[in-house]
Chain A
């Protein structure tokens, strides 16, 4: 652990630095690959939607001796139309999912299961979803998503800079795409709890980005007034300085989410806890990646297009021994070499 703290110190002073900005093409390619794979998975496999979106009923019987075959034949004997999905949940439950049924049919399934397993009708956990319900929650989720992106974009534009807000939102959209892609690829069930998870990730993914950008803003506060660093170099330095922080905050955020996932999947088998925490877990991991590898390079690219920043880059390059390379990666490499020497100068200024 203290090794990692020590690393924090070296990263802070720039003695050790990872080139996040200069190698952006590499990160972009990795992300583009993932996004393309996600789109392909969505197009080919699609999402595995829970009954909440399609309409249908779900009945769970609490009995250790209950078997899938028993449940299936009991429900089939009750004359329920459509396909049945019968699963074991945990070690002592069996769940039967049907298509959309009317009240009479729902009661018939409950009665059949109660009679088959010798339990009371009330002890069967039932969930009945109307056919129009899915549309309603999908519509609301989309409203929520769009509303969130707009409000946060405006807020970040005010709190930080407009370009930071664009870069942050680009990273969030990237996160959502990849998370949804993973869901399509692996075939996890998408339920309303998953959607809550997705929406929460948006907030969380931004948390890390906010921390990085806050440092960027501090580092670039009066960047054009001296010529020690280009904008890209300053951003890269900020990412390195906050690296340990990002790793820590992400890990700490993952610990409780992981606990929910462990307990939800391990003890309950299925339901709100598992769906929610799985979406959060995947999203958090992707969000941490994007707040380091996607948001800062996008920001640097956006800002480097400004004439003032290009002029700065020219001055910095002229100072660093006539190297004509304007490409940020070469410039960052130069900073890396200069890191330790840079330190006394900064102290002396105070």
Chain B
């Protein structure tokens, strides 16, 4: 009531603001074409597939020892397993924060049971003596060769036929029993091995780290320390194999049925501390150390949730989501046209711009950060139609209030904006807090909902500031609106005032 009647400066150039918005929209559209983001990535609940959420569980007594590294390691082990299925667009990711994370596996299509069986097993680390090794392709000469000492003919035949270049042979299944002889590939698929039963277990490692030996020409190495049991087992193993011929003097470090490294044993190591040297890069040394650390405390998994959605149900859910969206949008548009008449066009336009912006963002984010739209995500976007329309109402009602105070439309549009702006900011900020907290405290579908709700709230803010407000400013100069035409939504009848004329 104390503000002046002068137009506020923010109204300065509504035309220019709209032009900038148009440019941004054009730029985003071209980006969509340049990046080739042709369609929104759909979640498994909309196109069919299997998703499994695993919860890391650790042996009783070891609680609190789950480290972030261990979960990263578990994710990469599971990723290796899932990739071996060879299904395009499979995804393995950790959700949540710190050590309280779940691992979410999603595989499109009809692979249901295999995925579930594949990912639930605990991956163990074991040390096995190498009995034979060869390059990772099937070979007739290997098949003809006499089996090495202690290798059955059966294992030898399997070894000869093994093709490490095939994806399905590079999968760990957790089925590598420690007491069996194992025929396995290395992780890269370049070498295959016949391995003796395990003699030292990952759990017998107490410490592992990567280090840099500056004296020997800056070479990276990995050092590891065993606990009491491990010390004697590793001592015995190294003492036995060190004098044997190649490759039987190597000890393979096997994680989840795949050979991570197979160092040659240069001497018996009774002390319980060993160093693995070689031409490691820093990254390789750190990776190996991480594998060893993980082996010391392997993670088991509880299947939290398994969801198999058939493509039929997926299509049904997608159609239902789209229908609900169209219906919701339509109803809101019709309501605002009935209630606000001419001004309702602004609502319809703003919702259209917001919808376009969100669609472009879905396309681009799908390309950039792998955003996938789920059913819950669609619901979030539909709910946000309400939030978006609410901010227009707050503004429109504010303008009407200002006119009831006796201001002209052109003035009311500006003074009303200053006040409505704050209300909209505070209210949208509360929505954003809700979306952010939902996102951080949730897994799977809930996150999709929170993400789209947050995203659309942000889009709402952008649209209100750079589209709705400038558009109303421009319209307030049009005589249809500022003369109080009975269909403009600003007539004295609909305001409930007697006088509201341009001064």
- By a beta-carbon cutoff of 8 Å, the part of chain A in contact with chain B is 1-2, 4-10, 12-13, 52, 60, 62, 103, 107, 110, 120-130, 132-133, 136-137, 140-141, 143-144, 147-148, 151-152, 155-156, 159-160, 192-193, 195-196, 199-200, 202-204, 206-207, 210-211, 214, 218, 241-242, 244-245, 248-249, 251-260, 262-264, 267-268, 271-273, 276-277, 280, 346-347, 349-350
The residue of chain B having its C-beta at the shortest distance from the C-beta of A11 within the complex is B496
| Residues 473-499 of chain B, each 1 if its beta carbon lies under 8 Å from chain A, else 0 | 000000000000000000001111100
Contacts of B303 in A (CB 8 A): 128, 130
Task: Tell me the interface secondary structure of chain B in the complex.
Answer: helix
The residue of chain B having its C-beta at the shortest distance from the C-beta of A346 within the complex is B1
Stretch at the interface among B149-157, B222-230, B240-248, B334-342: B334-342
The residue of chain B having its C-beta at the shortest distance from the C-beta of A249 within the complex is B390
A196 and B430 in contact, given A6-B496, A132-B55, A259-B382 (Cβ under 8 angstroms)? no
Contact B327 A262 (CB under 8 A): yes
Q: How far apart sit A195 and B438, CA to CA, in the bound complex (Å)?
A: 10
Contact B320 A144 (CB under 8 A): no
Contacts of A52 in B (CB 8 A): 305
Extra contacts besides A12-B404, A127-B307 (7): CB < 8 Å: A9-B400, A62-B310, A128-B307, A130-B55, A207-B430, A256-B331, A264-B324
- By a beta-carbon cutoff of 8 Å, the part of chain B in contact with chain A is 1-2, 5, 45, 53, 55, 110, 112-113, 116-117, 120, 302-310, 312-313, 316-317, 320-321, 323-325, 327-329, 331-332, 335-336, 338-339, 375-376, 379, 382-383, 385-387, 389-390, 393-394, 397, 400-401, 404-406, 419, 422-423, 426-427, 429-431, 433-435, 437-438, 440-443, 445-446, 449-450, 453, 493-497
Q: How far apart sit A148 and B435, CA to CA, in the bound complex (Å)?
A: 10
Q: How far apart sit A166 and B323, CA to CA, in the bound complex (Å)?
A: 40
Contacts of A218 in B (CB 8 A): 419
Contact B438 A199 (CB under 8 A): yes
Contacts of A151 in B (CB 8 A): 433, 437
Contacts of B320 in A (CB 8 A): 263-264, 267-268, 273
The residue of chain B having its C-beta at the shortest distance from the C-beta of A148 within the complex is B437
Q: How far apart sit A151 and B252, CA to CA, in the bound complex (Å)?
A: 53
Q: How far apart sit A251 and B390, CA to CA, in the bound complex (Å)?
A: 9
15 pairs from A and B in contact (CB 8 Å cutoff):
A1-B338, A2-B493, A5-B496, A8-B496, A120-B110, A125-B313, A128-B303, A143-B441, A159-B429, A203-B435, A206-B430, A211-B427, A214-B422, A252-B336, A253-B390
Q: How far apart sit A8 and B331, CA to CA, in the bound complex (Å)?
A: 22
Shortest CB-to-CB span from A204 to chain B, Å, is 8
Contact A125 B308 (CB under 8 A): yes
The residue of chain A having its C-beta at the shortest distance from the C-beta of B486 within the complex is A2
User: Which of A126, A214, A272 is close to B376, meaning CB atoms less than 8 Å apart?
Assistant: A272
Contact A193 B431 (CB under 8 A): no
The residue of chain A having its C-beta at the shortest distance from the C-beta of B420 within the complex is A214
Contact B331 A276 (CB under 8 A): no
Q: How far apart sit A254 and B385, CA to CA, in the bound complex (Å)?
A: 10
User: Which of B53, B112, B325, B437 is close to A122, meaning CB atoms less than 8 Å apart?
Assistant: B112
Contacts of A273 in B (CB 8 A): 317, 320-321, 324, 375, 379
Contact B379 A260 (CB under 8 A): yes
Q: How far apart sit A61 and B244, CA to CA, in the bound complex (Å)?
A: 61
A144 and B437 in contact, given A128-B305, A206-B430 (Cβ under 8 angstroms)? yes
User: Which of A120, A123, A268 is close to B317, meaning CB atoms less than 8 Å apart?
Assistant: A268
The residue of chain A having its C-beta at the shortest distance from the C-beta of B381 within the complex is A256
The residue of chain A having its C-beta at the shortest distance from the C-beta of B435 within the complex is A203
A159 and B496 in contact, given A141-B441, A346-B1 (Cβ under 8 angstroms)? no
The residue of chain A having its C-beta at the shortest distance from the C-beta of B328 within the complex is A256
A257 and B423 in contact, given A125-B308, A244-B397 (Cβ under 8 angstroms)? no
Q: How far apart sit A132 and B440, CA to CA, in the bound complex (Å)?
A: 20
Q: How far apart sit A133 and B113, CA to CA, in the bound complex (Å)?
A: 20
Contacts of A272 in B (CB 8 A): 45, 317, 375-376, 379, 445
Shortest CB-to-CB span from A216 to chain B, Å, is 11
Contacts of A110 in B (CB 8 A): 113
A-B interface, 3 closest residue pairs, ranked by CB to CB distance from nearest:
A9-B496, A256-B328, A203-B434
Contact B302 A254 (CB under 8 A): no
Contact B437 A5 (CB under 8 A): no
Contacts of B493 in A (CB 8 A): 2, 5-6
Shortest CB-to-CB span from A316 to chain B, Å, is 18
Contact B434 A276 (CB under 8 A): no
Contact A251 B335 (CB under 8 A): yes
User: Which of B45, B55, B339, B440 is close to A133, meaning CB atoms less than 8 Å apart?
Assistant: B55
Q: How far apart sit A248 and B336, CA to CA, in the bound complex (Å)?
A: 9
Contact B302 A132 (CB under 8 A): yes
Q: How far apart sit A350 and B422, CA to CA, in the bound complex (Å)?
A: 22
Contacts of A256 in B (CB 8 A): 324-325, 328-329, 331-332, 382-383, 385-386
The residue of chain A having its C-beta at the shortest distance from the C-beta of B436 within the complex is A151
A349 and B1 in contact, given A60-B313, A248-B393 (Cβ under 8 angstroms)? yes
Contact A103 B116 (CB under 8 A): yes
A144 and B430 in contact, given A8-B400, A130-B55, A133-B55 (Cβ under 8 angstroms)? no
The residue of chain B having its C-beta at the shortest distance from the C-beta of A134 within the complex is B304
The residue of chain B having its C-beta at the shortest distance from the C-beta of A241 within the complex is B401
Contacts of B497 in A (CB 8 A): 9
Shortest CB-to-CB span from A266 to chain B, Å, is 9
Shortest CB-to-CB span from B307 to chain A, Å, is 5
User: Which of A1, A143, A263 is close to B323, meaning CB atoms less than 8 Å apart?
Assistant: A263
Contact B423 A214 (CB under 8 A): yes
Contacts of A125 in B (CB 8 A): 308-310, 313
Shortest CB-to-CB span from A317 to chain B, Å, is 24
User: Which of B113, B310, B440 is close to A123, meaning CB atoms less than 8 Å apart?
Assistant: B310
The residue of chain B having its C-beta at the shortest distance from the C-beta of A52 within the complex is B305
Q: How far apart sit A214 and B421, CA to CA, in the bound complex (Å)?
A: 11
Shortest CB-to-CB span from B337 to chain A, Å, is 10
User: Which of B2, B308, B328 is close to A124, meaning CB atoms less than 8 Å apart?
Assistant: B308
